[in-house]
C-alpha cells in the first residue's frame, strides 16, 4: 500500500495555512526499545532536532507533542511522553480532536521500520508495513501480528478520518523496510530496519490475498527517506552525536527555505544526501507536494556572529576549517574580513581570530580541504566462498576512523561500499568492484581505484561547499532532461520523453540536457558526470568548443549510458560561472582529472578550486571566490551493469 508508508522514511510536511489555521505536531523518536534488542542512537536526537526546526519555522510550542525515550533538551512548553504505541495513537487522536477544517497535523517518526505478512488481505504487495514503537515486541501468534507495532492499516485509518474532516496531514518518518536481501556487512552507519527473523515471524506465516485498501483522499503530502527498495541509515556527526541522515539533511534544508515548496525541499534534501555516506534517494507524494512549506526559514545565507563565535555548527553542515567571509549586514555589502572555524560543536563554532567589531554576520566561503580517503577494515561477504583474498588484504591500507568506504571481499575481488557497508543496494553488481586492467597487479589496480575514488568524492564535496546554501534563490540556468530509451541495437533510441529520476535509466539509453541561460549575464557552462565507481567524467564542453552562453542562449548536451553499465546511483553536475566580457572562459571539465598539479589554470575559478581538492595543502591564503558558482545536480538511478556515459553529438 503505497499511499501511506510505502518506503518508511522521514516525512515532514508543513503547509502554508490560512491565517486562522493552526498547526499541531506529533514527533516520535524511538532510541531505546523495551523488549527488542534493537536500540538506536539517533532517533531521540532526531526528535529534538525536528522539534527545534518546527519551532524555528513558527510552530507554537503548546501545539507540539514530543514522544521520545530521551526528552532532555526539548524546547520549553512542549508536551512530552514515552514513545509507546498507545501514547502515539492517543497523541494523534488528540491532535485530530483539537483541529478543525483547514488546520494541519504533522506526524514524524524516527525509529525502526519492518514488514510482516498481511493477514487482512488489503495490501497489494502482500505485506503490512510497520513502525516499531518503544514497546514493540516480536511476533505473537495469538493475535497474528507483531505485538504493539504500528501497522500501516492503523495509520491509514487515522489519516483518512483526519483528512475527511478537512484537516491537512503531513507525515515525517525516518525508518525503512527492506525485502530485497541487501547485505549490510560492516560500516559506520546503522540501518533502521528489522527483518522477519529478528521479529520472530514464523516461516509458515504467509500473506492473505484480498482487495487492496482504497488510496487516501484529501490534502496531504508525505516525504520518504528512501525508495521502497532501499534502506535508511543513521550516522554519527563529528562530535559523536547520531542522527538519521534524512532527518539531519531535511532539517538543514528547512532552516534555509523561506518560500520553498515541499518539492523544492525534497530536491534540496536529496542533493544534500547524495553527498553523504548512504546511497539512499528520498521520495515524496501527495496532492500538496507543490504547496509551500509553512512558516518562514532563514531568508539569508549568513550566520549571526557574536563574541567571536558563530551561531551555527555541525547541524548546519559546518566543520572545523570552514572558511567564512565576514559582513556587517545580513545581506549585501562588502566582505570585511575572512576567518576559519575552530572547535565546531553541534550548534556553535569559534572563529579562528577576533573579528572586526562591525562584523556581525558570516557567509560560507568554502569548506575545508577534504581529509585523505579512509577505508574501514575489510569484511567478507560470505565467510566460506572458497576465494583467496590474501593479495587483496595485503594491498589494502590500514583501516581508519570514520571511514569513507568499506572494502567488501566478494567474488574473488574487492567491492567498495559506501560508509553504510551495504553490498549491491541497487541490484547485483551495483557496488563497484576493483578489476585489474591488463598488465596490472591487484595492488596497482587498488591504488588506481582508490586514487580515483579519493578525487571524485573530494570534488563532489568541494563543489557542494563552494556553491553556497541558497535554496530558493533564482539559478542563472534552467536545465531540463529528456530520456530516449534504447531500442534494439545500442545507439538506436525511441522518441524523447521527460526524464523521471525515480524510474532510472538502462544501458544504451540516451539522456539529453537542454540548458538555457535565464540570467542577464553571460554564463560559462560545464557538465561533469559522477559515476557509481566514484569516477568524474567530462561531458561538456568538448575540447576547444566555446561553452559561453549569452543571456537567453541555450545548448543541448547529450550522453549515452554504456552498454556494459551496472546498476547504481550516479549524478550529472551542471556548473555555471558568470562571465566577464574580456575574461578567459571557465571550463571546469579540467577538474575531472586526478592531476591537480599541472601548469597554471586557465581561469580564476579553476585556480581557486584546484587547491581545495588537495588535503595536504597547508595554507590557501583565504582568497575570496572569484565569482559565484552554481551547481545543478541531477541524480541518475541506473538499472543493470560500470557506468561510463558517452557524450553524444547534437
Between the ranges 78-92, 282-296, 305-319, where is the mean pLDDT highest?
78-92
Cell numbers representing residue 250 in the block: 531535511
> Domain-by-domain residue ranges, the chain?
2-285, 302-366, 472-648
Question: Is the CB of residue 527 less than 8 Å from the CB of residue 548?
Answer: no
Q: What is the pLDDT of residue 281?
A: 75
**Rounded-to-integer distance, Cα 453 and Cα 236, Å:** 22
Contact between 13 and 23 (Cβ < 8 Å): no
Mean pLDDT of all residues in 367-395: 89
Cell 560500516 maps to which residue? Answer: 187
Architecture of the domain defined by 472-648: Distorted Sandwich (2.70)
Q: Which three cell numbers stand for residue 72?
A: 532532555
**Rounded Cα–Cα distance for residues 362 and 333 (Å):** 12
Give the separation between CA 19 and CA 15, rounded to whole angstroms: 12
146: closest CA among 114, 193, 175, 180? 114
Which H helix or E strand runs over 195? none
Percent of residues, the chain, with pLDDT higher than 90: 38
Predicted local confidence at residue 396, as pLDDT: 95
Q: Are strands 220-224 and 168-174 parallel, antiparallel or unpaired?
A: parallel
Q: Would you state the CATH architecture of domain 302-366?
A: Beta Barrel (2.40)
100, 15, 82: which is closest to 44 by C-alpha?
A: 82
Whether pLDDT at 473 is above 50: yes
* Cell of residue 38, nine digits: 534493537
In the three-class reduction of DSSP (H, G, I as helix; E, B as strand; rest coil), residue 304 is classed as strand
**Mean pLDDT confidence for 251-276:** 81
Would the pLDDT of 441 be above 50? yes
Helix pair angle (43-56, 245-255), 10° resolution: 10
- Furthest C-alpha separation in the chain: 80
> By the 8 A CB rule, do 364 and 468 touch?
yes
- Listed in sequence order, the residues at least 6 apart from 226 whose beta carbon sits closer than 8 Å to its beta carbon are 7, 9, 176, 232, 246, 280, 281, 282, 283
170 pLDDT band, cuts 50/70/90, is confident
Q: Is the pLDDT of residue 175 over 80?
A: yes
* pLDDT tens by residue, 17-64: 445 689 999 999 999 999 988 899 999 999 999 999 999 888 999 999
Q: Is 225 within 8 Å of 111 (Cβ atoms)?
A: no
Q: Is the pLDDT of residue 120 over 90?
A: no
Mean pLDDT of the chain: 83
- Fold adopted by 2-285: Rossmann fold (3.40.50)
| Maximum average pLDDT range among 147-151, 466-470, 488-492 | 147-151
* pTM exceeds 0.85 for this model: no
Max mean pLDDT among 137-151, 208-222, 529-543 falls in 529-543
Check whether 401 has a pLDDT greater than 60: yes
Amino acid at each position: 500500500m503505497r499511499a501511506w508508508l510505502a518506503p518508511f522514511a522521514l516525512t515532514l510536511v508543513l503547509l502554508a495555512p490560512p491565517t486562522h489555521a493552526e498547526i499541531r505536531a506529533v514527533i516520535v523518536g524511538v532510541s531505546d526499545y523495551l523488549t527488542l534488542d534493537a536500540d538506536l542512537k539517533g532517533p531521540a536526537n532526531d526528535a529534538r532536532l525536528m522539534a527545534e526546526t518546527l519551532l524555528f519555522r513558527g510552530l507554537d510550542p503548546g501545539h507540539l507533542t514530543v514522544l521520545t525515550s530521551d526528552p532532555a533538551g526539548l524546547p520549553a512548553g512542549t508536551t512530552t511522553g514515552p514513545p509507546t504505541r498507545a501514547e502515539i495513537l492517543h497523541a494523534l487522536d488528540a491532535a485530530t480532536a483539537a483541529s478543525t477544517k483547514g488546520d494541519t497535523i504533522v506526524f514524524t517518526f524516527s525509529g525502526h521500520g519492518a514488514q510482516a505478512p498481511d493477514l487482512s488481505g488489503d495490501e497489494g504487495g502482500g505485506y503490512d508495513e510497520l513502525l516499531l514503537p518503544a514497546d514493540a515486541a516480536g511476533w505473537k501468534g495469538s493475535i497474528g501480528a507483531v505485538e504493539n507495532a504500528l501497522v500501516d492499516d492503523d495509520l491509514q485509518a487515522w489519516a483518512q478520518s483526519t483528512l475527511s474532516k478537512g484537516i491537512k496531514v503531513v507525515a515525517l518518518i525516518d525508518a525503512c523496510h527492506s525485502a530485497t536481501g541487501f547485505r549490510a556487512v560492516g560500516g559506520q552507519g546503522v540501518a533502521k530496519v528489522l527483518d522477519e527473523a529478528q521479529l520472530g515471524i514464523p516461516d509458515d506465516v504467509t500473506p492473505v490475498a484480498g482487495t487492496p485498501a482504497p488510496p487516501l483522499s484529501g490534502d496531504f503530502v508525505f516525504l520518504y527517506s528512501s525508495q521502497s527498495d532501499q534502506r535508511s541509515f543513521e550516522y554519527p556527526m563529528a562530535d559523536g552525536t547520531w542522527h538519521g541522515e534524512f532527518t539531519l539533511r531535511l532539517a538543514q534544508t528547512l532552516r534555509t527555505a523561506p518560500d520553498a515548496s515541499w518539492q523544492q525541499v525534497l530536491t534540496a534534501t536529496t542533493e544534500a544526501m547524495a553527498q553523504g555516506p548512504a546511497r539512499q534517494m528520498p521520495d515524496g507524494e501527495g496532492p500538496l507536494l507543490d504547496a509551500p512549506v509553512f512558516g518562514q526559514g532563514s531568508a539569508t545565507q549568513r550566520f549571526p556572529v557574536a563574541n567571536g563565535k558563530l551561531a551555527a555548527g555541525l547541524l548546519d553542515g559546518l566543520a572545523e576549517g570552514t572558511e567564512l567571509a565576514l559582513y556587517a549586514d545580513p545581506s549585501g555589502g562588502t566582505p570585511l574580513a575572512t576567518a576559519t572555524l575552530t572547535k565546531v560543536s553541534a550548534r556553535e563554532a569559534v572563529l579562528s581570530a577576533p573579528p572586526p567589531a562591525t562584523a556581525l554576520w558570516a557567509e560560507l566561503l568554502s569548506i575545508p580541504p577534504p581529509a585523505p580517503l579512509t577505508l574501514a577494515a575489510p569484511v567478507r561477504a560470505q565467510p566460506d566462498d572458497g576465494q583467496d583474498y590474501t593479495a587483496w588484504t595485503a594491498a589494502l591500507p590500514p583501516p581508519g576512523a570514520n571511514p569513507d568506504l568499506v572494502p567488501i571481499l566478494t567474488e574473488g575481488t574487492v567491492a567498495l561500499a559506501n560508509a553504510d557497508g551495504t553490498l549491491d543496494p541497487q541490484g547485483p553488481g551495483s557496488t563497484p568492484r576493483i578489476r585489474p586492467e591488463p598488465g596490472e597487479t591487484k595492488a596497482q589496480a587498488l591504488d588506481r581505484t582508490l586514487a580515483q575514488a579519493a578525487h571524485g568524492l573530494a570534488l563532489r564535496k568541494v563543489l557542494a561547499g563552494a556553491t553556497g546554501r541558497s535554496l530558493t534563490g533564482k539559478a542563472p540556468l534552467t536545465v531540463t532532461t529528456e530520456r530516449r530509451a534504447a531500442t534494439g541495437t545500442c545507439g538506436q533510441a525511441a522518441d524523447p520523453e521527460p526524464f523521471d529520476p525515480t524510474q532510472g535509466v538502462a544501458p544504451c539509453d540516451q539522456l539529453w540536457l537542454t540548458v538555457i541561460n535565464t540570467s542577464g549575464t553571460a554564463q560559462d557552462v560545464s557538465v561533469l558526470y559522477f559515476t557509481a565507481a566514484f569516477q568524474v567524467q567530462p561531458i561538456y564542453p568538448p575540447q576547444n568548443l566555446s561553452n559561453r552562453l549569452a543571456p537567453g542562449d541555450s545548448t543541448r548536451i547529450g550522453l549515452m549510458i554504456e552498454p556494459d553499465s551496472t546498476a547504481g546511483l550516479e549524478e550529472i553536475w551542471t556548473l555555471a560561472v558568470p562571465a566577464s566580457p574580456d575574461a578567459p572562459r571557465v571550463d571546469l571539465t579540467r577538474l575531472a582529472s586526478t592531476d591537480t598539479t599541472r601548469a597554471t589554470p586557465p581561469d580564476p575559478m579553476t585556480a581557486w578550486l584546484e587547491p581545495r581538492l588537495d588535503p595536504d595543502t597547508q595554507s590557501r591564503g583565504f582568497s575570496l571566490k572569484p565569482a559565484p558558482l552554481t551547481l545543478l545536480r541531477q541524480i541518475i538511478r541506473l538499472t543493470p551493469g560500470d557506468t561510463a556515459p558517452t557524450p553524444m553529438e547534437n
